[in-house]
Amino acid sequence: MAITGTSSFSVNFSPVFRRDVTSASGNLKRNLDLKRFAVSSEQASTSSSTTTKTKKFVENGRMWKNSREESETARRVNVEESEERERNGKSLKNYFDEAKDMIRSDAGPPRWFSPLESGSHTNDSPLLLFLPGIDGVGLGLTMQHQRLGQIFDIWCLHIPVEDRTSFADLVKLVERTVRSENHRLPNRPIYLVGESLGACIALAVSAHVPDVDLVLILANPATSFSKSQLQPLIPILKLLPDQIPFSLPYILRLMEGDPLRMAADNLVKELAPEPPFGKLSQDLLTMSSYLSVVANILPKETLLWKLEMLRLASTYANSRLHAVKAETLILSSGRDQLLPSQEEGEKLCLALPKCQNRRFNDSGHFLFLEDGVDLVTVIKGAGFYRRGKYIDYVSDYMPPTPSEFKKIQESNRWHYLATGPVLLSTLEDGKIVRGLAGIPSEGPVLYVSYHMLLGLELYPLVSQFMIESNILLRGIAHPIAFKRLKDGKLPELSTFDPFRMMGAVPVSATNFYKLLSSKSHVLLYPGGMREALHRKGEEYKLFWPERSEFVRMAARFGAKIVPFGAVGEDDIGQVVFDYDDLIKIPYFRTEIDEISNEVEKLRIDASGEVSKQHIHLPGILPKVPGRFYFYFGKPIETEGRKRELRDKVKCHELYLEVKSEVENSIAYLKEKRENDPYRNLLPRLIYQATHGFTSEVPTFEP
């Protein structure tokens, strides 16, 4: 069964108890019989005289936490718990405080540790290995540990300040760990998260182990070191006496836009009109204390060693890019003053076969230490989180937290304001009311409708369901939002990150089946892209396939079918140059063919209008925005009709009934909106200016 639609939204150190003793020259040794648990430093101090006094990490190996019983609830991020963790998150100050503790008694070879505050992950959580940048401390994800720890088993690599392990041996260390963990749990992916130097290590390891399922997340990779401002620092440092701390101010100047800018920005945000002198003094002292910590992390000899390593690492990684087959997500900063990261991100995405790029235009080199950068959100939005060999868009999906949803709302607030959506639903007794009181609260529910021009109805529709009913509409979406067969002229995949965050899944019978079996609220547009890119004069005309594609599947799970209409596209813009016009011009005809070939084709075996889903951008003449209206008809029950609807005739009759209900809903809204005194934008703005911009603007009487 082929199902089509377009995108659904516009939118501690302590003794270790299972030891992983690793070094550049030794092998990975394990005792798999030892119990997996963690103790605090206070507990450890009574049993070992070599315990370092800090509460946050496990030394010389990984720290195991007690895991919960595996269940669907445990597999998903609890929204309220996640939100609470976000409020109690760490700051940049924690990084420097913890780094100071870690290097105070720092000796020995490079080793893994796992942060205690990363929480209790589930048994099937993938392994995440963090590979640090030039600092080598391994605390680069300290502001991310709590969130990441809910969905990953986190190990961080710590390279002591005085350690002189070569780049090649660091690669071997990580490679041994990767192979060992892959042998232990072969069905889960291993994530390598590397920043700058760590990104080069990740690329090298990936080239060495093409048979292991790796996912690379690389922040500002140092593969561009040959173009770095750090290059001229090497000969200068070699000539300067050790007593002259030249490297410190130089590094801090290059880090402008990173820790110092972040601290200053946080200070500005927190200051009241007349800030308390004590608070101001404390923040200034905190900022000045960073200098000594950076000096201890990167003394002259260590800095020289790291810079030489960066040069070698860059050359090594670049020479092996052709052997990297892993999925890769590049995170590139626009204000990175250490490396030309955005330029490098584009270059790497062209060189790597399964690569995506995400730009952070206002961020500096140390991306993960910046306020507002949430790696979990980035991974979710990019569609890079999976527990198995392939992503499962239903079981691997994590709903947006309130703060994530709020950010999506804020980015689309002008759309919402301009369209002033009105939602109507039908109660059991047939009464039409404003709001979603008539919508079933329990799934599975299938919402079927007409797709407005460019899918403009999606953002206000999905947002209002979340706001009013806390229901997440999971849309069956066109592949354009998930995958490219080749690079070209289509918008970058990052454009569709909000779609994936809000639960869109690629169109397929399998995904449709999984959504209904998980009792989801599913949004389906049978007309798909043909309706979203309709021609002139085709407003509100349904282009549905001949076959009753969705009815039998809904009946299989007893899903309620809710037909609904949506109108308002003609109050936003008028199509003046459509597909029929464009295809007559050779230049545009060639461009349409090229763009359409960038994504997977749908319904290639279908006939009629729905088979012609060419991707193009029609010429639209904007209007002063009108209002969007949605009318949800009475839910149609399929429970207990599974046997009946196996009959093709009965199934098609129900299909036509749903289609007719959608058309009737559209006709109802087109008629009733004529009586809405606030249909146009200006009256709505005047009303909200008088009553408050959060007030609900009235509409016609249903």
Task: Please identify, among 334, 361, 382, the residue that sits at the C-terminal boundary of a domain.
Answer: 382
pTM for the predicted model, two decimal places: 0.83
Return the higher-pLDDT residue of 396 and 34: 396
Element holding 574 (H helix, E strand): strand 573-577
Residue 622 has pLDDT above 80, yes or no: yes
- CATH at residue 259: 3.40.50.1820
Nearest Cα to Cα of residue 38 among 4, 64, 18, 69:
64
Same-domain status, 352 and 423: no
Q: Are residues 92 and 165 in the same domain?
A: yes
Q: Give the pLDDT confidence of 303-346 residue by residue, as tens digits.
A: 889 989 999 999 999 999 999 999 999 999 998 888 999 999 99
Query: What pLDDT sits at residue 606?
Result: 65
CA distances from 679 to 163, 422, 452, 460 (A): 69, 10, 18, 16
DSSP 8-state symbol, 397: -
Q: What is the mean pLDDT of the chain?
A: 81
Question: In this structure, is residue 95 part of a structural domain?
Answer: yes
Do residue 482 and residue 525 come from a single domain?
A: yes
Beta partners for residue 61, in sequence order: 19
Please state the φ and ψ torsions of residue 199, each to the nearest 5 degrees. -65, -35
Q: What DSSP letter does each residue of 119-138 carry, written as one string?
A: ----TTPPEEEEE--TT-SS
Establish if 476 belongs to a structural domain: yes
Structural domain boundaries, residue 111 = 81-227+248-382
Single residue among 366, 382, 398 that ends a domain in this structure: 382
- CATH of residue 436: 3.40.1130
Q: Is the domain of 339 the same as that of 471?
A: no
pLDDT of residue 375: 96
Give a yes or no: residue 338 inside a domain.
yes
User: How many angstroms separate the CA atoms of 407 and 74, rounded?
Assistant: 25
Please state, in angstroms and rounded to a whole number, the distance separating the CA atoms of residues 462 and 466.
6
Give the tokens for residue 548.
Answer: 């009753």
Distance CA 251, CA 304 (A): 12
Q: Is residue 202 part of a domain?
A: yes
Question: How confident is residue 238, by pLDDT bands cut at 50, 70 and 90?
Answer: low
Q: Which residues pair with 37 in a beta bridge?
A: none
In a domain, 418, yes or no: yes
* Residues 378 and 218: beta-carbon distance below 8 Å: no
* CA-closest candidate to residue 400, choices 348, 471, 449, 448: 471
Q: Supply the pLDDT for residue 318.
A: 96
Contact of 42 with 116, CB cutoff 8 Å: no
CB 216 within 8 A of CB 327: yes
Q: How far, in Å, CA of 164 to CA of 160, rounded?
A: 9
pLDDT of residue 242: 57
Determine contact, residues 473/491, Cβ cutoff 8 Å.
no
Task: Give the pLDDT confidence of 346-367 residue by residue, as tens digits.
Answer: 999 999 999 999 999 999 888 9
Instruction: Tell me the C-alpha distance between 666 and 660, whole Å.
Output: 10
Lookup: tokens for 574: 């008028």
Judge whether 243 lies within some domain.
Answer: no
- Are 344 and 421 within one domain? no
Pure H helices in 77-158: 79-87, 92-104, 145-148
Give the tens place of pLDDT for each residue, 551-580. Answer: 999 999 999 999 999 999 998 999 999 999
Nearest Cα neighbor of 462 from 433, 493, 492, 423 is 423
Sign of CA dihedral 273, 278, 281, 282: negative
Domain count, the chain: 2
- Looking at residue 487, its pLDDT comes to 80
Mean pLDDT of the 616-622 span: 90
Asked if 543 and 416 sit in the same domain, the reply is yes
DSSP β-bridge partners for residue 314 = none
pLDDT at position 167 is: 96
Long-range contacts of 590-594 (CB under 8 A, 24+ apart): 591/489, 591/616, 592/616, 594/488, 594/489
Domain boundary among 365, 382, 399: 382
- The predicted pLDDT at position 241 comes to 61
- Structure confidence by residue, pLDDT tens digits, 448-468: 999 999 999 999 999 999 999
Q: Are 367 and 195 in contact (CB under 8 A)?
A: yes
Whether 475 and 355 map to the same domain: the answer is no
User: In this structure, what DSSP letter does residue 492 have?
Assistant: P
